[in-house]
Chains A and B, each alone.
Chain A
Amino acid sequence: MKRTFIPVLMLLAGITQAQAEAPYREYDPMENYLPHVRGDMQLSGSYKYWKDPKNLDWRMAGNPEENWKLNWKFMDPPFNASVHGGHFAADRGESIFQELNKTGRFAACLGAKKGNLKGLRTRYPMVRADLNHVAGLEEVIERCAAKEGRVLQNGSYDNSAVSVYVASQSTGSPININVTSPGPLKAAFERGRKLFHTRVGRSNLACSSCHTHQIGLHLRGTVVTTPYGDAAHFPVYRTRYQLQSLHLRFAECNLATRTQPLLPGSRPYTDIEVFLTGLSNGYPVSVPSERD
């Protein structure tokens, strides 16, 4: 009986021995991902049902056994024409944006050309010379707002509201980040891919344990969906969280699988954002959107 407790004690002892170099980690089998949304045809094959956001099969959307095949795109515009909290967020974001952008500096800081926000969201995450790293839109909004003297913490409602407003100006335009040419963005994509397959937390699970290998299967009442095309509708209106940025979604995923969550804007979360955005290349920005 004692012997079976030894592993538990050894685990606890192991925790105290912080190693200087890369620690031992387990990885799910690493897959080849096409950094374009059509890569899903080699993974779950559900892309054919949701590739045209305007013309989804409404019968499939209403069938709980089949709606996972639409990758929840029936809650995105233009198929979802209802008014929801995401629209209120866009209004709030627009008024904050106008306040901050009186001189035009704020839009320029975000990377808008001649103050035009159209297409800006499709180029995020991007390499920011001023930050000296790859950054997501919300991290840049926080930084640019601070320059104008306003606190918009990454993950806060107002930060995400500005992000929703900026993204809504690109709704319908396909995401287009280059993660194949050598450079910081490609490196972030590769790190994100590795993190996506790294097993962590109390249950020793990686993102990919479910979202690559169990797509279409049930976890109680939830059906696992593909990681392709999933970054296009963030920040998203959620009934539980009011407004949720992609990094806060990662924190929710971490907590649900009993893994210590990280701060929004942290390097690992940004790398996973780059990875998932790469898998959304070619899919239109779909904001404001909602999810359960």
Chain B
Amino acid sequence: MTNSNKDVLEQNVSDLIESGGEAPKIAGVARTRIREGLVAKFAVATAEPARVKSRRPLFAIGLGFAATAAIALVATRFVHHTGEVAPLNATVQKLADGTTYIAEAGTEVTVLGPRKVRISGTALLDVAPGKGTFVVETQHGRIEVLGTRFVVEGLADKTSAAVVRGEVKLASSDGEVVLHAGEQAVAEPGRPPVRGPAPRLSHLVSWAQQARHAEEHDIASHHGTLFARDPGVRSHPPWGMEYPLPIAKLGLDITVEDQVARVALDQTFHNDAPQDLEGMYRFAIPPDAALQRLAMYVDGKLTESAVVERMRARRIYEELVYRRVDPALLEWAGVGRLSLRVYPLKAAEAVRRLHDHGAAAGRRPDGRADGHRGAAQGLRQLRSAVDESYDHDRAQRRRRGRHISPREREARRFVRAARPRHAASRDRGDGQ
């Protein structure tokens, strides 16, 4: 090849590369998701026992991470969880530094210092951030909060920890492991701590749910009210034709899986009126949330809904109301707003429960889930589920074919209407 040809070739190569521009890159969220998936699968499955560093000054090391310490330390039993529920009289206790905890029955929490406690049993803690490393000692282990929320159990024969968010370090005389979100570890005497995935974190902390809800009662105030009205459209001063029903029960559960935070909200309302009512439940969803699903539990059996054209859905709904069959109609009511109609809310003692599944935005400053409000009342237990999925990765949603932008959603004016599969006669007979 001559020098001239070489120059041409070099120039063409340069031109080609320049014309190529930036190569396609994997989306940031997908990149993270895949990395975490690989780490969870291979780092755990083949991990060697943690390094033995019995003489290592753990506290000094912990201080290095102290600057990252944030909020919320949750401590609870999660190994051999027996499903105990925290007693209703369990209350949130507060330490001098602002850290709070909820202790399970029989648990001893001893304050050893301003940022140091000893736990024998199971407790759920919220550690105040920015005040140095928070240390939890158990009989056979020591946990240093490196950031945010985790779960710990201190028993006589072992210490366990699981991380809900952020990082913690679980150390014993035989070694130490740093746990990241979604991981758990067990430390037993004579063995280094063993780390693994914690796929059921929400279940592990569920025992403290009631106590937490009691503390976080302000959540309820964010979730609105179920309005009811007579089918006969009579007036209810001072509310007009629609009036709010009292809420009898509220439950909230949050799980995080594959970058998707899902919120399950249970709300039970009571109908004091002497006649059946129709429920009107309006709620807002986060800007990037996507509604995934509407289903109803009828006599314990899940009944899926269908997506149909708006006016057709309304006709179906009205017809079912007329026939006294249990329908539910979910309508798009503008950007970020949805309206759910359910019928009937049975009179008097009847209870009807609505169960929402939503996805935590994860963007709310307080870290709580934005969710839905539910309502209803009936002669038997009736659960309706609304799944709202909030996905940080839009590409992931497109892949699943469920991503709909607010503009697209409004344009489509989609309507989801319940399509009960049970026989109308059976429902009418169920009216009792």
Co-assembled chains A and B: no
